[in-house]
Homo-oligomer: A and B are copies of this chain.
Amino acid sequence: MTASPPPRRTALEQDRLDSALKDLFEQRITFNQTLGLTVESLAATGPTARITMRPELVGHFLYGRLHGGVISATLDAMGGLALMVAIGEKHPDENAEQIMHRFARMGTIDLRVDFLRQGIGQHFIASAEVTRLGGRVGSTQMRLVNDAGLLIATGAAAYMVS
């Protein structure tokens, strides 16, 4: 006889969790607001977000390319978001408040970014997947593509989770 899995949160509660995640990512993390990051999807297989080009985000003013620092910041934020979604899936019986409480101690341990091509585009889509979610550390891989689908950057990061 095996234990039954804990009952999954209701669709309504999942909506509350998704709204809370979206609010945290887009509003409460002030610098994400500076970047203008908006959530596109909170799919369990890996979330996506959008960043729209603005003059404040360019590197050298002559070239109009997305600054490397914007790319790093975006990929770091995406890895964290992917882990938040994965933590929600790992504890399917917990309600939105319980899951959100788990993020209080999350933090990036380290980050690598590979800048592959110039960040030219009207908007960009960032995505992330969790390669491991342990009890203390989570690892992710991230990608940024432009509006033509060209791979602009990839990233890898480790985060403290609890």
Contacts and interface: CB of A to CB of B under 8 A. Distances in A.
Give chain A's interface residue range (CB within 8 Å of chain B): 35 or more
Among A70, A137, A141, chain B packs the most CB atoms within 10 A around the CB of: A137
A132 interface: yes
A131 B30 CA distance: 28
Number of copies of this chain in the oligomer?
4
Among A29, A115, A132, chain B packs the most CB atoms within 10 A around the CB of: A115
Interface stretch (A2-10, A12-20, A89-97, A154-162): A154-162
A76 interface: yes
Contacts of A156: 110, 112, 114, 154, 156
A43 interface: no
Interface in A94-144: 107-118, 131-132, 136-137, 139, 141
Interface string A59-100: 111100001111011101100000000000000000000000
B116 A132 contact: yes
Nearest to A140: B114
A151 interface: yes
A146 B27 CA distance: 26
